[in-house]
Amino acid sequence: MTAPSPLPPRPRTSPLRSALNLRRDPLGYLRHLRAAYGDAFTLRIGPRDVLVVTHPDAAREVLVTQAASFRKGRGIQKMQDFLGTGLLTAEGQTWRAHRRLMQPSFHRAALSGMADDIVGSARPTHAAVLKAADTGETVEVGGEMLRVTLRAVASVLFGTGLTDDELRVVESELPPLLHHTVSRARAVVDLPRWVPTPAGQRSAAASRALDAIVARIIAARRAEQEAGTPGGDLLGLLLAARDEQGAGLSDRELRDEVMTLFLAGHETTANTLTFLLLLLSRHPDVQARVRAELREVLGERDPEGADLPRLPLLHACIQETLRLYPPAWLVPRQATAPVRVAGFDLPEGASVSVCISLLQRHAAFWPDPHAFVPERWLGGGRTPEAFMPFGLGPRMCIGNNLALMEAGLIAALLLRDVTVTVPDGGPAGLHASVTLRPDGPVNAVFRR
C-alpha cells in the first residue's frame, strides 16, 4: 500500500488572518499564495481546508478525468434555496437527464434564430449611448450593461412573452434577489432561513413575484404547445424537448432552469462587456481596428447572427477579455470519494477550488500573461487546457455559445457608431465575489 502524499503547502498564518485577507482581496490573496507556494496550496476557510489549484493539468483532473468523483461546492449547493434543481445546482441522475434533454436547445443552430431578439433588446442601450455622445454625458457602463443583458436574457428566454410591466418587475426584483442568493452562498456561517432578516424577507417577496411571472408564461406556452405553436425562443425549445422515453420537463423543472439561466446569463455577460469596453478604452488602436472591421462588415445596418464569424478581431477581443477577466473566476468542487489531485491524496468530503483567473494568466502557457493582446487569438497556437472561462468537462457551461453570441452582437451594435473613452482609466482593482467585476464604477464618455 502506497504511503499518503504529504499535505499541500499552506500559508503560515492564522485562519483568522487568512479569512481577513480573503475578505479584503480574495483574488489578490490567492495570487500572493500562488507566488509563495506554487500551483497547488491549502487555504483554511471557516472550519474547512480548501485545496486551491491553478495549473491546467490539475484543473483537468478535477473537471474532466475525475469529474465523477466531485460534486459542486458547498456555496453553489446553498443556491438551491432560490434556484431549485436547475443545471447549476443539480447533481447525479437529475443533472444528467436535464443536461441531455436541454443540450440540443443550446447548439449554435438552435440559437441562431434568437440573434434578432438580442439585437432588439440592445437598441434602447444603443440609443442611450448615442444620446450621451451628443450631450457629452458620462455613462456608467457596468449598470448599463447589466440592464441590456437582463433584457437580452429575457428576450431569448421568453421572446415577446413578457409584458412591459412584467419586464419592469424582472428588472427591479431579479438583481436584489440574485445578490441575496450570492451572499448566502458566500457566507461561512448561515443564519437559518426562518430568521426574519430584512434581506431574507425582501428576497422571499421578490422570489414570489418572479415565480408568478414565470408560471404565467409557462402556462401560456403550454397552451400554445398544445395548439401546435410552441414558439422559437428558448422556453419554447425547452418545452418541446423530449428524452428517449418521450418525457419533457415539468413546470417546476422549467421554472428552476429559467431562474438558473437568468443567474448564469445575466451578470456574467454584463461583466464581460464592461471589461471589454474598459480594455478597448485603454487600447484605442485596437478599438479603431475593431470599428473599422465593423464598418466594413456592417456598414450602417445592425448586426445579425450570421455576421459574427466575419468579425474575427471583435471575437478575439472578447476571448482575450474572457481570458483576463473570466466571470466565473473560481470553480468550487467537493470530493464524493477519496481522490488524488495535483499529487495529493484527498479524503471524501474534501473541498477543491480551481482558480480559473490565475490559470488563464499562467506564465508557462501565456506569453506576457497580464497584457491585453487580442492577436494571440488570431493565429492559433494557444493551449486549450489553459483557457476555460466556461469551465471544462461534462459540466462545462451549457450556455457558452449563447453568451458569446450575446456579447458579440451587443458589442457590435454599440461599437459600430461610437468611440468609448474612460477618462480616469477606470477602476484599477477587481471585486471577486461569485463573479469577477471591476471594483468601482466605469464612467465612460462616448463620441460618435
Query: pLDDT digits over 348-392, tens only?
Result: 999 999 999 999 999 999 999 999 999 999 987 666 779 999 999
In a domain, 205, yes or no: yes
Of 221, 229, 209, nearest in space to 251 by CA: 221
d(Cα 445, Cα 384) in Å, to the nearest integer?
36
d(Cα 290, Cα 295) in Å, to the nearest integer?
9
d(Cα 69, Cα 63) in Å, to the nearest integer?
10
Burial class (CB in 10 A: 0-12, 13-18, 19+), 216: middle
d(Cα 298, Cα 126) in Å, to the nearest integer?
15
Q: How many structural domains does the chain have?
A: 1
CA 305 and chain centroid, separation: 21
Q: Coil, helix or strand for 443?
A: strand
In a domain, 346, yes or no: no
Domain that holds residue 290: 93-327+364-443
In a domain, 245, yes or no: yes
Where is 82: in which H helix or E strand? helix 80-83
In a domain, 15, yes or no: no
In a domain, 353, yes or no: no
Residue whose entry in the numeric block shows the C-alpha cell 449598470: 143
So what's the pLDDT on residue 1? Answer: 38
**CATH code of the domain in which 244 resides:** 1.10.630.10
d(Cα 239, Cα 222) in Å, to the nearest integer?
8
CB 281 within 8 A of CB 287: yes
> How does 244-265 read in b/e, with b if 16+ C-beta sit within 10 Å?
eeeeebeeebbbbbbbbbbbbb
CB 69 within 8 A of CB 339: yes
In a domain, 8, yes or no: no
First and final C-alpha spacing in the chain: 71
Residues of the chain with pLDDT > 70, as a percent, come to 91
CB 202 within 8 A of CB 180: yes
In the chain, how long is the greatest CA-to-CA distance?
74
The per-residue DSSP string of 382-401 comes to: --GGG--BTB-GGGS-TTHH
The residues that bridge with 330 in the sheet, in sequence order, are 355
In a domain, 448, yes or no: no
C-alpha cell at 52: 486551491
Query: Chunked in runs of 10, what are the mean pLDDT values of the chain (448 residues)?
Result: 65 80 89 94 84 96 94 73 76 85 84 90 95 95 92 84 80 75 61 66 82 86 78 81 84 86 84 97 98 96 96 97 95 94 93 96 94 91 81 90 95 96 92 89 96
DSSP summary character for residue 358: H
Query: pLDDT digits over 247-273, tens only?
Result: 888 888 888 888 888 777 788 999 999
Residue whose entry in the numeric block shows the C-alpha cell 418541446: 240
In a domain, 117, yes or no: yes
